[in-house]
Structure 1
């Protein structure tokens, strides 16, 4: 047992310098958001679908879960995503896009 612990400690210590020897080329910046652009129609279609999914799955959790904590969380999710859906719809009605906001679910 003592030999196994010693061998393990040596193996761990042998790998430590390699972990610290990683080069730091000063390029610690995350990829630019431009790499992940989404067109307006995709965004406008996805947001209502995501909200509707959260609402429906939370209703299911409220109905099926025996846990009061899960039911309380599901109720908060329903309230939050219903409000988010209403706010999004209001914002879209003030915008200049012709994209459809009807959920596809």
Structure 2
């Protein structure tokens, strides 16, 4: 009996001494437990976007710009050829958005494209909203030509050097389509 008591006493002593010198974790997952102030507040650090995310966002923004500006063309253009082109752009860029979503979703980890317009795209769209008739047609044709040229350059660059295989394949397949759109835009007359 004395032997069992000694063993238990030694075990308790070891456990007690084992806890000495250990740092106590005072952090809590409960936000209410520790009020935040300027001393202990942790600011989120911005995380750099991956090249794949950047490309997906640019492609999504391009599609959004093409669709929105083409919807304006259907309402504000006086040219039958511009309206026909705009209708084809809405269909093509809606399909492109769906394909981009599939390619981005196939990435590991999955990428979610954010279709936020660049400041240049937003300014162009805002300018188009203020125009009608022949003035609109000229501005729309210029915006479509510039936008498709920029998109083509982005697609070619990602097709050559992309880091996400599914997005790289998407870019490669889109190059001839966007080249055709660019040529069509250049051929439009206001």
What 5-or-longer segments of structure 2 have no aligned partner? 1-49, 118-190
The residue aligned with 2:68 is 56
Higher RCO (C-alpha under 8 Å, 6+ residues apart): 1
What 5-or-longer segments of structure 1 have no aligned partner? 1-37
The residue aligned with 2:152 is none
| 1:37-76 aligned within 5 A | 39-76=51-88
Q: How many positions carry a matched residue from both structures?
A: 68
TM-score, normalising length: structure 2: 0.34
Contact residue 70 and residue 87 of structure 2 kept, 8 A: yes
1:86 to 95, 98, 101: 98
Q: How much is the aligned-residue C-alpha RMSD, in angstroms?
A: 1.7
CA offset at residue 51 of structure 1? Answer: 0.5
Whether 2:89 is the aligned partner of 1:77: answer: yes
In 2, the alpha carbon distance for the partners of 1:41 and 1:92 equals 8
CA offset at residue 99 of structure 1? Answer: 3.5
| 1:51–1:78 distance in 2 versus 1, CA, 3 Å | same
Runs of 4+ in structure 1 displaced over 2 angstroms?
A: 97-100
Higher Cα Rg, which structure: 2
CA deviation profile, 1:28-54 (whole Å, cap 9, x unmatched): xxxxxxxxxx82221111110110001
CA offset at residue 100 of structure 1? Answer: 3.0
